[in-house]
Amino acid sequence: MPQIFHRSANTLSRATIFGAVFVIAALGLVGYEIQGSPYVTYAGVRKPQPVPFSHQHHVAGLGIDCRYCHTSVETSSFAGIPPTKTCMNCHSQIWTNAQLLEPVRASYRSGQSLQWTRVNQLPDFVFFNHSIHVTKGVGCNTCHGPVDQMPLMYQQESLQMEWCLGCHREPQNNLRPRDQVFNMRYQPPTSAHPVVVDGQSYTDQVDLGTALVKKYNVRSVKDITSCNTCHR
Amino acid sequence: MTLDPKNESGKREDVCPSKKGKLDLESVRARIEEVSDEQAGPEYWRSLEELAGSTEFQEALHREFPKGASEWVDSVSRRGFLQVMGASMALAGMTGCVKLPLEPIVPYVRQPEEVVPGRPMFYATAMTLGGYANPLLVESHLGRPTKIEGNDQHPASLGGTDIFAQASILGMYDPDRSQSVVSLGDQRSWQAFVSAIRGPLSAQKALKGAGIRVLTPTISSPTLADQLNNFLKIYPQAKWHVYEPVNRDNVLEGAKMAFGQPVETRYDFSKADVIVSLDADFLYAGFPGNVRYIRDFAKRRDPDGNMNRLYIVESTPTTTGAKADHRLAMRTAEIEGFASALATLSSGAASGVGGARQDVMKVLMAVNADLESHDGSSLVIAGDHHQPIVHAIAHALNAKLGNVGKTVFYTEPIDANPVNQFESIKDLVGDINAGKVDLLVIIGGNPAYDAPADLDFASVLKSDKVPIRVHCGLYQDETAELCQWHINQAHELETWGDARAYDGTVSIIQPLIAPLYQGKSAVEFVALLSGQTDATGYDLVRAYWQKQHAGANFEAFWRRSLNDGWVEGTTFAPKSVTAKSANFPASNSGEAAANAIELNIRRDPSIYDGQFSNNGWLQELPKPMTKLTWDNAILMGPKMADRLQVKSIDVVELELNGKKVTGPVWVQVGHPDNSVTVFLGYGRKRAGRVGTAQGFDAYPLRTSAAPWFASGLQIRKTGEKYVLASTQGYQWMDTPNGDHRPLVREAALAEYRKDSNFAKEQGEEPAPGLTLYKPYPYKEEAYAWGMAIDLNSCVGCNNCMVACVAENNIAVVGKEQCAIGRHMHWIRIDTYYQYPSEEARDRDNPKAFFQPVPCQQCENAPCEVVCPVGATNHSSEGLNDMIYNRCVGTRYCSNNCPYKVRRFNFLLFQDWETPQYKLMRNPDVSVRSRGVMEKCTYCVQRISEHKIDTETASVREGKEIKIQDGELQTACQQSCPANAIIFGNINDPNSKVSKLKAQSRNYSLLGELNTRPRTTYLAEVSNPNPEMKS
């Protein structure tokens, strides 16, 4: 009785088994990459907005403080999206005829809210609180990126759990003095540009951060990495 | 795990213990004999199955979920099955990989002052039940009310609420509420009604309103009463009738009998050492002032300080009876005899009380002696459903004992129109039948469903004898259907108004949200009838109070009243009334034949008179004694069931004076013999999607002559069975190795004083170090959360359960799912029964105990170590966290939980679609989906909020600020009228919870398992009369 399979079947089956490992691994890698890619996370994606509001112009150009519009950032979980009235404080005086601003004026006239698209979006099972981060020395641009250089707003980071935990596990890497939280041009300390806190000069971020963890009574890593810190 | 060998050979059984109907009364009885003969000391049981030691019970004890809960119960076609399987295979593990959809963010146009997005605001308001106001604080998130709390500064609440107030948030968002004006089945506008009613009203003007009748429920609102009186001034011949099915006619008539005038009775339980309740259920929602009474009663029940003693003579087992130190089960008709015998005894004449049963005589003598030795610190209280004479006797006794002015106060009635309501509606029907009524206006209420059966109100409406019928109500219910015009009424959380609490204090009702469906309030509706077409509720209420306010600066007065939640100076001052001496004419109901069966009709513990039928939270709330959900039943005692050869869930037919009703039987220990109880509120025809056709309608048995009890009931077995969903048989806890370590622990006061450590001695707790795991240094953390539940204070009122549902977005699952044990309550109240060893002979009258069981937050949590995906973990502060988004639904954790407190979303129980429910939910708590485990979190959202607030304040002010004791409350704790649940930081030795845990009564549930639960219990101490021991 002749052999059913040709000798080459041996090679073929070895290659298939060996190859399958790579194919599965490759699929896994592709899946992982997609999951972390801007396609899923929206990092760096400019979402459609009713008015092409430029943070670059208002923050860097005009020097308006973050808190002029995001009023509840220091007191509430939610930083606050300015009501139409806030826009009209200035735009009832300047650029009153700009076509771009028509949706704002229409909203003010009709009493219908503007419908923005949320840029920094977390899943519903994550409960983030702005006030505690701002109070403990996490700068706006640590998470939101160089907002003052964004003509159109986009999300800087992936906002995935891994990214959050990076800071919750080592908060000293990111803290800055509280008076610098809203400073978009803040630079972490270097030997060329030391940062002075309570009369002490720091040239290294970890040294500064460790001092600030103590000063601001940041809770233990075990505490701020407890699940219920963000999930409830 | 040992199972009875009989079970192995047995065939597959039905899933629900209540479905089985296998309860073998003979074995129960045999077991009872055994217990009493052995005098084995306290033994606690939760259901008759358990007492009988049935195989079903043994099995249920060892199951993670009730049998059948984990099985696929819906019938499914082969094709459907393959589709589902195919899809789940293909998508297994991919559920976490979703791209978030784009989400809009919608700011205000002009942001209102003081509104901070992300921070709730609280407004003081009130809700009424039977006319009595319940003062509330309502939490509002960006204009959406989400949670009801009691107004902690109001004397009628002190922070507590009742179940109806808690659940009213669901009532307000109910999508089945009436959403428009309807005329003869067509949607119409309010304007259309305004112009349609103008003609008939002006026609009546010429007749001085002789053809107008207004029917309202009990009204305590000064504004509304003033408006109605104004209306009667415009139409002097018109009449205002009052009817509510659960009314206080007997109380009113009793007061008239005793004092010759209608007065309201107010009690002060904080000064009462001996309380005699003649069938009064004063510790449960629906009894006016119950929230305050529970607080005072529980406070005076301190085994280390003042300990009151409660005697109760009871016709239907209630929670108040369960808290009593001595409980005597008697038929309602016999209680009058008991009361008059007590009055006779108290007047010094021992004769005239002969003929009483010997056990009754013993109680009578003891009660009398106890009362006499507590002049001025005792209290006699009669139940609302008793004949006026019982109330009159109670008044006379209180007067004789010198309690008036000390524990009992009389005030003006809070009812603005204190008429006899059964007479009132009878007059109305008489007038209608005589053709005198041209325009009938029904404001609130549902008389077509709940009026006495002898009046047949529905047929009267249907007969077209009244040409124009107008109904203003929350639902398009049975009455709305029979009226030409239906006006959609606004909910009390949507309107302006006012109402009086049980002590007369007026609260202004302020709206939390604009009417969802453009409804009109009663105040606005009556204004229209009086010709004020466009008046708004705000203007009307404000105008009334402006008239009342004599002093200057009305604005400040008004704002303060709104802010505080009550109007200064409106509390009724005690009134001095003199009781006429004791000879009251006996009612004829006391002479019922000894073996004639008595029918008792009571309001339902969960849905009241039927007005809360469409409220899923209340329908699913296990009723305190029976633990029934979604249904009413015919309650009877075991002896009687034995005699009639019926068991729980057997359907029987009740017949009284030719009227017939069929319903399922529920055998309830503690129920007097030769007597059955039925509950009102069920069998609705037009309640809404939730309430329609649940249970059976008991109103046909209710007549205006005998609204609460009647003799001569006939019972016939039909041979049918009916599925009842009782949670009593679920979540049984097992003591390891069958050891005798009771889950509820209690002692009499004398025993407690002798041995204050009795609770600890009944169990054992391994030393803290006895574990393989490395102990976590919780002591070093700023906070370690813990809870102490005082069983002595808990009155089993169910409030914590509804508060938890509202706070934590807990889903309603429906009757079918409840019946197979899939209910989702994070906190349950277990009811245990026990025969006190010395009174074992009174076999149908066991003692009852309540034990609220939330997640115990074990330090050595058995659930955590078995989770394969790390979805349940321990926090540094000792919380047992549950992370929904990680959970894959293996249910290993609940299998390993000895307390059976974990709940699993077997199906998609949450309603994700209905827009109203989206508004209702607490935005600080995740809404769980299918396939996810959930459980009590100690309200971690509240902990987080308080922690963040104190920490930001600390940094800002440069000094350490910690969460103050008592500032942070869990939802169950906050709503508890008895203060039985105390939560706090156990690392602070001065916190209230630490102090409670340091008490000798403190013990852990199943502590011998070395789970080291953070929730512990304080054992119950009862205060029986030592004289009655023999």
Answer whether A37 touches B (CB < 8 Å). no
pLDDT of residue B1027: 80
Residue B100 has pLDDT above 90, yes or no: no
Look up tokens 């450590």; give the residue.
Answer: B757
Question: With contact defined as beta carbons under 8 Å apart, do B485 and B469 qualify?
Answer: yes
| Chain-chain contact of A223 with B117 (C-beta, under 8 angstroms) | no
| Chain-chain contact of A84 with B107 (C-beta, under 8 angstroms) | yes
| Per-residue model confidence as pLDDT tens digits over B349-397 | 665 555 566 778 888 888 888 998 998 899 999 999 999 999 999 998 9
Answer whether B881 touches A (CB < 8 Å). yes
Amino acid at A10: N
Minimum Cα–Cα distance from A131: chain B residue: B952
| Chain-chain contact of A117 with B883 (C-beta, under 8 angstroms) | no
d(CA B425, CA B457) in angstroms, rounded, equals: 9
Q: Which of B853, B847, B830, B670 is nearest to B748 (CA)?
A: B847
Predicted confidence band of residue B239 (pLDDT cuts 50, 70, 90): very high
Chain A CB contacts of B104 below 8 Å: 115-118
How many CB atoms neighbour CB B593 within 10 A?
A: 11
**Residue B489: DSSP 8-state:** B
Amino acid at B637: G
pLDDT of residue B1010: 87
Look up tokens 């009635």; give the residue.
Answer: B413
**Residue B697: DSSP 8-state:** -
Rg over CA atoms, chain A: 25
Question: String of b and e for B971-1007 (b: at least 16 CB within 10 Å)?
Answer: bbbbbbbbbbbbbbbbbbeebbbbebbebbbbbbbbb
Look over chain B and give the mean of its residue pLDDT values, rounded to a whole number.
86
Chain A CB contacts of B885 below 8 Å: 123, 125, 231
pLDDT of residue B55: 62
DSSP β-bridge partners for residue B188: B181
* CA-to-CA separations, B357 to B313, B353, B597, B712, B1024, in angstroms, rounded: 14, 10, 18, 22, 21
On the CB side of B505, CA atoms within 13 Å amount to: 21
Which residues lie below 8 Å from residue B1030, measured CB to CB, with a gap of 6+?
A: none
B788: left (phi over 0), alpha (psi -120 to 50) or beta: beta
| Per-residue model confidence as pLDDT tens digits over B846-901 | 888 999 999 999 998 999 999 999 999 999 999 999 999 999 999 999 999 999 99
| Chain-chain contact of A47 with B102 (C-beta, under 8 angstroms) | yes
On the CB side of B647, CA atoms within 13 Å amount to: 18
pLDDT of residue B96: 56
The most confident of B87-91, B99-103, B542-546, by mean pLDDT: B542-546
- Overall average pLDDT of the B79-101 stretch: 64
* CA-to-CA separations, B414 to A41, B132, B420, B571, B678, in angstroms, rounded: 61, 8, 14, 10, 29
Per the structure block, which two tokens stand in for B961? Answer: 């600020």
Question: String of b and e for B778-809 (b: at least 16 CB within 10 Å)?
Answer: beebbbbbbbbbbbbbbbbbbbbbbbbbbbbb
pLDDT of residue B353: 56
User: How far away is chain B from the Cα of A226, in angstroms, using its nearest Cα?
Assistant: 5
Q: Which of B678, B708, B679 is nearest to B589 (CA)?
A: B708
User: How far away is chain A from the Cα of B146, in angstroms, using its nearest Cα?
Assistant: 17
Minimum Cα–Cα distance from B926: chain A residue: A125
H-helix or E-strand containing B872?
Answer: strand B872-874
**Residue B717: DSSP 8-state:** E
DSSP β-bridge partners for residue B274: B309, B378
d(CA B987, CA B784) in angstroms, rounded, equals: 6
Which residues lie below 8 Å from residue B750, measured CB to CB, with a gap of 6+?
A: B1026
Per the structure block, which two tokens stand in for B173? Answer: 């968002």
Look up tokens 């280390």; give the residue.
Answer: B304
Which of B183-187, B401-405, B732-736 has the weakest average pLDDT? Answer: B732-736
Residue B1016 has pLDDT above 60, yes or no: yes
What percentage of chain B reaches a pLDDT higher than 90? 62
Residue to test with chain A: of B91, B95, B99, B105, most A Cβ within 10 A: B105
pLDDT of residue B67: 60
- How many residue contacts between A and B have a Cβ separation below 8 Å? 141
Which residues lie below 8 Å from residue B324, measured CB to CB, with a gap of 6+?
A: B277, B310, B311, B312, B314
| Chain-chain contact of A113 with B108 (C-beta, under 8 angstroms) | yes
- The count of residues in chain B is 1030
| Per-residue model confidence as pLDDT tens digits over B932-946 | 999 999 999 999 999
How far the first Cα of chain B sits from its last, in Å, is: 42
User: How far away is chain A from the Cα of B69, in angstroms, using its nearest Cα?
Assistant: 26
| Residue B472 CA, distance from chain mean position | 26
- Overall average pLDDT of the B143-158 stretch: 92
Chain B CB contacts of A114 below 8 Å: 106-107
Residue B696 has pLDDT above 70, yes or no: yes
Chain A, residues 151-190, CB within 8 A of chain B, namely 178
Per the structure block, which two tokens stand in for B496? Answer: 């302006």
| Minimal Cβ distance to A72: which of B102, B117, B955 | B117
On the CB side of B39, CA atoms within 13 Å amount to: 2
Answer whether B960 touches A (CB < 8 Å). yes
B124: left (phi over 0), alpha (psi -120 to 50) or beta: beta
Chain A CB contacts of B874 below 8 Å: 226
Residue B242 has pLDDT above 80, yes or no: yes
Question: With contact defined as beta carbons under 8 Å apart, do B537 and B496 qualify?
Answer: yes
Amino acid at B920: M
Phi, psi of B595 (to 5 degrees): -105, 10
Question: With contact defined as beta carbons under 8 Å apart, do B130 and B252 qualify?
Answer: no
Q: Which of B455, B454, B452, B451 is nearest to B478 (CA)?
A: B451
Answer whether A115 touches B (CB < 8 Å). yes
Q: Quick one: CA dihedral B238, B239, B240, B245, positive or negative?
A: negative
Residue to test with chain B: of A158, A228, A230, most B Cβ within 10 A: A228
- The count of residues in chain A is 232
pLDDT of residue B36: 44
DSSP β-bridge partners for residue B634: B665
pLDDT of residue B607: 93
pLDDT of residue B16: 38
| Minimal Cβ distance to B925: which of A47, A219, A232 | A232
Average pLDDT per consecutive 10 residues, chain A (232 residues; last block may be shorter)? 84 89 91 87 90 93 93 93 93 90 93 93 92 94 92 91 94 92 91 89 92 92 92 90
User: How far away is chain B from the Cα of A231, in angstroms, using its nearest Cα?
Assistant: 6
CA angle, B254 as apex, B673 and B382 as ends, to 5°?
A: 45
Model pTM? Answer: 0.90
Question: With contact defined as beta carbons under 8 Å apart, do B978 and B298 qualify?
Answer: yes
Residue B740 has pLDDT above 70, yes or no: no
Residue scoring higher pLDDT (B25 or B406): B406
Answer whether B951 touches A (CB < 8 Å). yes
Residue to test with chain A: of B141, B142, B810, B876, most A Cβ within 10 A: B876
| Chain-chain contact of A118 with B104 (C-beta, under 8 angstroms) | yes
Amino acid at B325: D
